[in-house]
Chains A and B, each alone.
Chain A
Amino acid sequence: MNEKWPMLKIHNASKSFNGVEVLNNVSLEVAKSDVLGLAGPSGSGKSTLLRCIQQLEILDGGSMECDGKIGFMFQDFQLFPHLTVLQNLLYALNLGEKNARRRQSNEMQAKIMLKNLGIEAKASMYPYSLSGGQKQRVALARSLMVDPDVLLCDEPTSGLDVATTMDVVLLLKSACETGVTMIIASHDLDFLTKISNRIVLLRDGKIVLDVDVKQCQDPVNHLKKYYAD
């Protein structure tokens, strides 16, 4: 298998809301198993780009091609409040699954996933009783349960304290090790440089910078220059 096979190809994507252009001819290729950080100030179009990739929004122009299943992690998690943690993980997977043995193995898999994330004790709890970091884990687990080839994460650290942010870095890193391609949108450059091998900077719906994190001496400061003016 070619490691640098493009998993996702975006060509001249554009999108406007009420006449205001939010994405302006964005072109981007993401290689398989890449972890791409999507940086940019608030309002630069990061969420919109992710939502277009997931087809929650329809592009006005340009094209997108994805070579696999997409998983999505919402900024505000969007866990199902009336289902327990375990049910949140299993519901979509077990839909239409009549084979009892496979349902059982799905449940085993979900429990292992919760255990790896350190929240196996919460399996039968409802989302309202979880902390922000715990909800984050459940959201990650839920999006990984359907076995995506590409995982899109929108601001996975927003609203989390420093220690929990570190946990999320480790979590996402361990998810990368499974070979899943990731695109992580965040305004937090420190966080992004810790986790991604490539960072793309969006400003006013345009890609203004594309850096290879390992090739760069001081990626945070390098990127910061483009943030200001």
Chain B
Amino acid sequence: MDTVISNCIYLGKGLIFTLELTMGSIAVGLALGVFLSVLRHCRICVSLVRGWSSIIRGTPLILQLSIIYFSIPNLIGVRMNILSAGIIAFGLNSSAYVAEILRSGIESLPKGQFEAARTLGIPTFYMWRDIILPQVAMNILPTLVNEVIALLKETTLISIIGGMDIMRRSQIVAAEQFEYFMPLCIAGVYYYCLAMLIEFIGEKIERKVAYAKNS
């Protein structure tokens, strides 16, 4: 019993790391993704955004992570800590997917909403911030929740640059104690709880904004 508790505590530290990594990455991914999807509507930037999206989605995440952690510090001569490198890599990666989700959300909005904003003399910045994006956010929320859960599971890749997340810690415990089942079960429970937490928060927000779903 003692080993179970001490393993839970040991993996619990990984839970905090995983949570920090996921939240940091999704914050970066959302901010950059929104920026990219709006930039898509500026004529000169379209191909830039498309190129970015295409490169990110066409290369393995593990490669992107390695470039950011191993090779960029080599080039500019600054070492990054594992968490920041992870947040940057996962954040950049998810920005392309978030931008893609947003793009379809924006495209499915009636063109008349943009036109109504224009006829009322609403400047572009405010149109996006107050009229377009809030509606898009409402519509894509379920897809976005899926993206966050996918990101949570992808953060397990952090172990290749030495990040001590839930998965890595469970493997260390397993190797030390020659016992796989228990630590992996604990890891599974932790990941599942995190995923359910994300889904719960998503549903909470969804219920709050449901009033305006169908106009």
Interface residues of chain A, those whose CB is within 8 Å of chain B, are 54, 56, 70-72, 74, 76, 78-82, 91-92, 95, 126-128, 142-143, 146
B84 interface residue (CB < 8 Å to A): no
Are A76 and B112 in touch, CB under 8 angstroms?
yes
Are B119 and A54 in touch, CB under 8 angstroms?
yes
Are B113 and A80 in touch, CB under 8 angstroms?
yes
User: Measured between alpha carbons, how far is A80 from B133 in the docked complex, in Å?
Assistant: 12
Are A74 and B211 in touch, CB under 8 angstroms?
no
Are B130 and A91 in touch, CB under 8 angstroms?
yes
Sort A-B residue pairs by CB-CB distance and give the 9 closest, nearest first.
A81-B215, A92-B120, A78-B116, A78-B112, A72-B119, A82-B212, A81-B212, A128-B215, A82-B134
CB distance from B124 to the nearest CB of A (A): 12
Q: Which residues of B are found within 8 Å of A95, using beta-carbon distances? A: 122-123, 126
Q: A54-B119, A56-B115, A82-B138 are in contact. Are A126 and B110 (CB under 8 A)?
A: no
Interface size, chain B (Cβ < 8 Å): 23
Q: Which residues of A are found within 8 Å of B121, using beta-carbon distances? A: 92, 146
User: Which A residue's beta carbon lies closest to that of B120?
Assistant: A92
Most buried by B among A74, A78, A91, A127: A78
B118 interface residue (CB < 8 Å to A): yes
Interface residues of chain B, those whose CB is within 8 Å of chain A, are 110, 112-113, 115-116, 118-123, 126, 130-131, 134-135, 138, 209, 211-215
Residue pairs across A and B with CB atoms within 8 Å: the count is 59
Are B115 and A92 in touch, CB under 8 angstroms?
no
Are B213 and A78 in touch, CB under 8 angstroms?
no
User: Which A residue's beta carbon lies closest to that of B138?
Assistant: A82
Which one of A56, A92, A127, A143 lies within 8 Å of B215 (CB-CB)? A127
17 example contacts (A-B, Cβ-Cβ < 8 A) are as follows: A56-B118, A71-B119, A72-B115, A74-B116, A78-B110, A78-B113, A78-B116, A80-B113, A81-B135, A81-B212, A81-B214, A82-B135, A82-B209, A92-B120, A92-B121, A126-B211, A128-B212
Which one of B115, B126, B134, B209 lies within 8 Å of A78 (CB-CB)? B115
Are A80 and B131 in touch, CB under 8 angstroms?
yes
CB distance from B114 to the nearest CB of A (A): 9
Q: A81-B135, A91-B130, A95-B123 are in contact. Are A128 and B115 (CB under 8 A)?
A: no
CB distance from B111 to the nearest CB of A (A): 9
Identify 10 new A-B residue pairs, CB closer than 8 A, beyond the known A71-B119, A91-B130: A56-B115, A56-B118, A56-B119, A70-B119, A72-B119, A76-B110, A78-B112, A78-B116, A79-B116, A128-B215
Most buried by B among A74, A82, A91: A82
CB distance from B207 to the nearest CB of A (A): 15
User: Measured between alpha carbons, how far is A95 from B138 in the docked complex, in Å?
Assistant: 23
User: Which A residue's beta carbon lies closest to that of B130?
Assistant: A91
Q: Which residues of B are found within 8 Å of A79, using beta-carbon distances? A: 116, 215
User: Measured between alpha carbons, how far is A74 from B126 in the docked complex, in Å?
Assistant: 21
User: Measured between alpha carbons, how far is A57 from B126 in the docked complex, in Å?
Assistant: 22
Which one of B118, B120, B130 lies within 8 Å of A146 (CB-CB)? B120
